[in-house]
Amino acid sequence: MGSLPTPERWGTIVTGSYQLIHRFPIVNSVISMQGIPVQLAGGVFWRAALGALAAVIVSAGSFAPSAGAQESAIDRLSAEGEAQVIAWRRDFHQNPELSNREFRTSEIVAEALREMGLEVETGIAHTGVVGYLRGAQERPLVAIRADMDALPVTEATGLPFASTVTTEYRGQEVGVMHACGHDTHVAMQLGVASNLVALRDELPGSVLFIFQPAEEGAPEGEEGGAELMLKEGLFERYQPDVVFGMHAFSNLNTGQIGYRAGAIMASADRFELTVHGRQTHGARPWDGVDPIVTAAQIITGVQTIVSRQVDLTRAPAIVSFGAINGGIRNNIIPDSVELIGTIRNLDMATRDSVHERLRTTVTNIAEAAGAQADFEIFAQYPVTANDPELTRRMLPTIERVVGRENMIEAVPRTVAEDFSFFAMEVPGLYLTLGVTPPDVDPATAPANHSPLFYVDEAALVTGVRVLSHLVMDYMAGN
């Protein structure tokens, strides 16, 4: 498939009960489940694929034959529901909403869950929605979570359903884009709900579908996300036994699932530091206390925390300064200097230790210089850690669904994820889903948060199948 779609050749498809009308490119009349993204000179990706249409026309999926009746039922339902999942995804993609502003998204989610016959609760942590599906028995209760928010990124994919939404963010006019793939998470989780509703009489347990706002962080001055959902008593009301989550990532190919027992994403904590000296003439430093030199010593001193004091065989750690501000003129030593930065850890005990050592280092260096340090750490996200026992238990399910060759043991990432709050409460398993087309090297694919972040929609059915089977197998005690 060499040629590019042209706007005159869009087709139209009406999918599912939602009657969502989607426009998509037609390329040489070739229908493919995989599709070939073509990179234009300007760096624009076109998806020359017809995932939705193919799913309508091709009734069978490409998965391996299943072992049991229930298993084949999930796979059959996933194949049948693929076009609807893609339609949902494109609709959310085209209508992205920033953190704590997921009004439209949550309304569509709530409506879809109600139509499926679930008990629905809305308005949790501002725009959060949960759907409760009671199976043949009440317990165990398995929670699965999808985050719903988009990012202040101006989309540059050139997709026919690319976002053209703009909004004001921190006083600036910005584009809004699902550049982290949360549109796929919402769509896939609706797909899982639809699958499990069809099997509700056979479900040896119940399911809590969590649609979470503000994973990317609430706007300044607001609370949000998983932490706020818990603060509002979500887990006290429902008391799930486990929680599963999945994130679309560019670093794996379609069909691949990343897993890891233990820490998979880092904790993230912000710090603010003000070094108070005493202002004086640059020609007479001895008359004052120089906060610039003190700040420089602190920056250097802090480097030895990770390099000399932390047991790096236990877990890596990061301390980074992000800004330093102070002074106005060449011959004035200022009164104070402000610094901000971030702390990342992959082990909660190491995290406590790094925080403590930072305080000690900052305070003592300032004191030695005759300055004073106001130092504050703002806890943001804990480490996202997969429960080792739950991970071990569920690996056979993943292997059965995607095949061993598609299971990739993930390297921990030093970015953070607020799924961690849920996984601190009950055993959690957070997987990553490859969304880079098979013929593209994930190392060169635009990463999550890039304006060119691109999802191969053929990956969505894999996500739906894996999550559905995980829920079912956990309930069945497998």
CB of 178 to Zn ion, least distance (A): 9
Residue 265 binds Zn ion, judged by CB under 5 A: no
Q: What does each C-alpha distance from 220 to 170, 217, 223 come to in angstroms?
A: 9, 9, 8
Q: Give the pair of three-digit tokens for residue 208.
A: 């809590």
State which residue, 182 or 357, has the beta carbon closest to Zn ion.
182
Judging by beta carbons within 10 Å of its beta carbon (0-12, 13-18, 19+), is residue 224 exposed, middle or buried?
buried
Contact criterion met (CB below 8 Å) for 197 and 133: yes
Q: Which segment (20-28, 173-181, 278-286, 420-428) binds Zn ion by CB under 5 A?
A: 173-181
Instruction: Return all residues near 425 (Cβ < 8 A) that are at least 6 apart.
Output: 230, 235, 243
Judging by beta carbons within 10 Å of its beta carbon (0-12, 13-18, 19+), is residue 133 exposed, middle or buried?
buried
Q: Which of 97, 417, 457, 474 is catalytic?
A: 457
Q: How far apart are CA 245 and CA 225, in angstroms?
A: 14
Q: Which segment (176-184, 262-270, 284-292, 423-431) binds Zn ion by CB under 5 A?
A: 176-184
CB of 147 to Zn ion, least distance (A): 6
CB of 417 to Zn ion, least distance (A): 7
Residue 408 binds Zn ion, judged by CB under 5 A: no
The DSSP secondary structure of 178-213, one letter per residue, reads: -TTSHHHHHHHHHHHHHHHHHTGGG-SSEEEEEEES
CA dihedral 455, 91, 416, 122 (to 10 degrees): -150
The DSSP secondary structure of 268-285, one letter per residue, reads: EEEEEEEEE-B-EETT-G
CB of 169 to Zn ion, least distance (A): 15
Residue nearest to Zn ion (CB): 180
Residue 226 binds Zn ion, judged by CB under 5 A: no
CB of 448 to Zn ion, least distance (A): 6
Q: Give the pair of three-digit tokens for residue 102.
A: 């997921």
CB of 17 to Zn ion, least distance (A): 28
Residue 180 binds Zn ion, judged by CB under 5 A: yes
> Contacts with Zn ion: how many residues (CB under 5 A)?
1
Site map 103..142 versus Zn ion, x via CB under 5 A:
----------------------------------------
Q: How far apart are CA 146 and CA 209, in angstroms?
A: 8
Q: How many helices (H) and strands (E) does the chain have?
A: 11, 22
Q: What does each C-alpha distance from 317 to 201, 310, 412 come to in angstroms?
A: 48, 8, 12
Q: What does each C-alpha distance from 133 to 142, 425, 465 come to in angstroms?
A: 10, 21, 18
State which residue, 159 or 180, has the beta carbon closest to Zn ion.
180
The question of whether 457 is a catalytic residue gets the answer: yes
Which region holds residue 381: left if phi is over 0, alpha if psi is between -120 and 50, else beta? Answer: beta
What letter would DSSP give residue 40? Answer: -
Residue 433 binds Zn ion, judged by CB under 5 A: no
Minimal CA–CA distance to 127: which of 240, 211, 185, 238? 211
State which residue, 120 or 180, has the beta carbon closest to Zn ion.
180
Q: Which of 381, 430, 454, 474 is catalytic?
A: 381
CB of 181 to Zn ion, least distance (A): 6
Q: Which segment (25-33, 57-65, 134-142, 177-185) binds Zn ion by CB under 5 A?
A: 177-185
Residue 33 binds Zn ion, judged by CB under 5 A: no
Minimal CA–CA distance to 320: which of 343, 301, 304? 343
Q: Which segment (26-34, 123-131, 180-188, 332-340) binds Zn ion by CB under 5 A?
A: 180-188
Residue 218 binds Zn ion, judged by CB under 5 A: no
CB of 224 to Zn ion, least distance (A): 14
Q: How far is CA 368 from the centre of its chain?
A: 43
Instruction: Return all residues near 337 (Cβ < 8 A) that are at least 6 apart.
Output: 274, 275, 277, 291, 292, 294, 295, 324, 325, 326, 327
State which residue, 25 or 152, has the beta carbon closest to Zn ion.
152
- Active site residues per annotation: 381, 457
Residues forming the site for Zn ion (CB under 5 A): 180
